[in-house]
Amino acid sequence: MSSVTLFPMSKVDRIQRALGFVALIGLLATVGFGLVWTPPDQFMGNLVRLIYIHPPLAWVGFIAYGMNFLTSLAYLWPRTRDLRWDQLAGASAEVGVLFTGLVLVTGSIWGRPAWGTWWTWDPLLTTTALLFVLYLGYLALRRVPDDPKLRARRSAIAALIAFIDVPVVYFAVLWWKSLHQAPTVLNPLTHKTYIHGSMAWTLLLGFVAFTATYAWMLMIRYRLGADEQQARVADVVLALHERQEEGR
């Protein structure tokens, strides 16, 4: 309801369409540049082309969870408490889980030919997998029906619990590995991969394109949630009238 009064609908629609357009063009360009313009790597061959999507996907995952954390804090802070923060947090976590899933898949596809295995207990990889499961749980919690305010408070605290856990997990896994003396995996980013000018530009384009995609998806999901919220408010008004009718 309040989103309607804040911005006129048509303007929001225009922003959303523009974002979607930028995202689409950006993605198409990234695909085109990544597959055609840039050269294959001396050692990695065509596999190196995954570099244009894998890091941007991971980046989007991080900003999505960061956004989830900040909006959850904004909800918990009494002065800025507003159900719209909660909806934004939920929307961002959903997009984040999707992108983290894609990060894991692309990472695996990369890992198989590059390292000879689908999975390795690398700290970053392991932390990402845990991140995925953590926020799956968070989304499952959000699905438990309840009064919107109670659900929002509960979700915000759960978001806090999950977010604070991430660095602890990372350090734990890092030390866990370092004690094991496992064979060091060749990191293709730092090892012998010469990033050409065209490659750097394409990677940058990838970051921009995926960030725009994130913003676009976040916006759509948030507005969908806002519509649901509006429908719920209408329901409550109706239910109140029905309840009063019972008394006549």
Partner 1 sequence: MSQAIELCRAVAFAGSFPLLAGVDLSIGSGEVVLIEGANGAGKTSLLRVLAGLIPVATGSIQVLGYDLLVERRSVRTEVGLVGHQSFLYEDLTAHENLQFWMRRPAVQVIEAALERVGITGRIARTPVARLSTGQRRRAVLALLVARSPRLWLLDEPHAGLDTEGRELLDGLITEAQRSGATVLISSHEIDHVSSFATRTVSMSGGRINSSDGGNSTEDVHDVS
Partner 2 sequence: MFRDTLALCRKDLRVEWMTRITSLQVVPFAVVIVVLFGFALGPDPKQLRPAAPGVFWLAVLFSCILGVQRSMSVEMSDGAIDGLRLAGFDPAGIFLGKLLALVGELVGLEVLLSILTAVIFGVTLASFWLLVAATLLATVGLVAVGLLYGVLLASSRVRETLLPLLFFPVISPVLIAGTKVWQAALDRHVSTGIGWLELLGVFGAIYVAIGIVSFGPLLEDA
User: What part of residues 130-149 is at the interface with partner 1 (CB under 8 A)?
Assistant: 145-147
- 248 is in the binding site of which of partner 2, partner 1, none (Cβ under 5 to 8 A by kind)? partner 1
Q: Residue type for 127, please?
A: T
- Torsion, CA 161, CA 163, CA 165, CA 170, rounded to 10: 170
Query: What string marks each residue from 203 to 242 as x (binds partner 1 by CB under 8 A) or -?
Result: -----------------------------x--xx--xx--
Rounded to whole angstroms, how far apart are CA atoms 110 and 188? 10
Rounded to whole angstroms, how far apart are CA atoms 67 and 90? 10
Rounded to whole angstroms, how far apart are CA atoms 11 and 3? 12
Task: Give 116 or 247: the residue with its C-beta nearer to partner 1.
Answer: 247
* Residues in CB range of 114: below 8 A, 6 or more apart: 44, 47, 186, 188
- 180 is in the binding site of which of partner 1, partner 2, none (Cβ under 5 to 8 A by kind)? none
**Residue among 97, 102, 75, 101 at smallest CA distance from 86:** 75
- 130 is in the binding site of which of partner 2, partner 1, none (Cβ under 5 to 8 A by kind)? partner 2
From the CB of 118, what's the least distance to partner 1, in Å?
45
Binding site for partner 2 (CB under 8 A): 130, 133-134, 136-138, 140-141, 144, 146, 150, 153-154, 157-158, 160-162, 164-165, 168-169, 171-173, 175-176, 179
